[in-house]
Structure 1
Amino acid sequence: MSRTYRIGQVARKLDVNTSVLRYWETEFPQIHPIRTRSGQRLYTEEHIKTLRMIQYLVYDEGLTIEGARKRLRERSQLQPIKEKIDAEQSAHVQTRALKLQIIDELLDMKRILEGKK
C-alpha cells in the first residue's frame, strides 16, 4: 500500500486548516480519503496532488468552488487524450531514432564497401 497521511499532516503540507480539507472533501468527489476503523481520514499522494490543484485553482487562480470543480472535471476528461498524444509522440520519437540508427548502419556499410573497391 502506498504512503498515507493523516488530515493534520496534509493540512500542514498545504498550509490550510483541517476544516478546509473537510469542506473540500464534501465539494470535490475526487477527494474521498480512506477511513480507518476509528473514522480517521487517510490521504494518499494522489489525494494530495488533487488537493494542491484545488488549492491553486481556488487561492491562486481565484476560481469559485464550482469553477474549480469544473476545471478538475475538464482536466480528467482530457487526461485520456493527453495520454494518447504522449504515447503517439513517444512512438514517433522511437521510430525516428530507429530510422537514424538504420541510416548510420547503412552509411557504415557504404564506407566499408567503398573501401574494398
Structure 2
Amino acid sequence: MASENKSAAAFRTIGEVAQVTGLAAHILRYWESRFPQLRPITRAGNRRYYRPEDVALVQRIDRLLNHEGYTIKGVQQLLAREGQAGAAAPSPSPVAALRAVRDLLAQALAED
C-alpha cells in the first residue's frame, strides 16, 4: 500500500491508520469523540489526516484499553492529568527515553 512508501513524518488517512493499528475506522472515529487529545486534521469532505503524533496516541490508547485493562474513563483521566502536567514540565525526548531503556537492559544482562 502507499503508506509503506511514506516518510515517518507524513500524514496518514484513517484507512492507513486502521491498517497499521489493526483497529476499525469506526473505532478511530469513536475515539475522536471520546478523547479530546486525538484531533486529526480534517480537510474538504471531512477527510481525516493523522499526524505521526496522532498515530502514536492511537497506539497508546489501544495499548491502555485493550492490553492493560483501562476503561475509557480511566484513559480519559490519565490523558487529562498528563496534559495538565505536560504543560508545566516538558517530556523527555524519545531518544533519551530509548537510551534509558537500553541502559536498563544492559544492566539487567550484566547482572544475569
CA distance in 2 between counterparts of 1:24 and 1:84 reads 24
**TM-score, with structure 2 as normaliser:** 0.68
Confirm or deny that 1:36 pairs with 2:43: yes
Greater Cα radius of gyration, structure 1 or 2: 1
Confirm or deny that 1:73 pairs with 2:80: yes
Work out the number of aligned pairs and report it. Answer: 85
Aligned to 1:48: 55
Aligned partner (choices 9, 21, 24) of residue 17 of structure 1: 24
CA distance in 2 between counterparts of 1:6 and 1:85 reads 28
CA RMSD of aligned residues (A): 2.1
Deviation string, structure 1 residues 23-54 (Cα, Å, up to 9, x no partner)? 10110001111111121111101111111111
Identity of aligned residues (%): 31
For residue 45 of structure 2, give the secondary structure of its aligned residue in structure 1: coil
For residue 83 of structure 1, give the secondary structure of its aligned residue in structure 2: coil
Which has the larger share of helix? 1
Q: Which consecutive segments of 4 or more residues in structure 1 shift more than 4 A? A: none
Unaligned runs of 5+ in 2: 1-8, 94-112
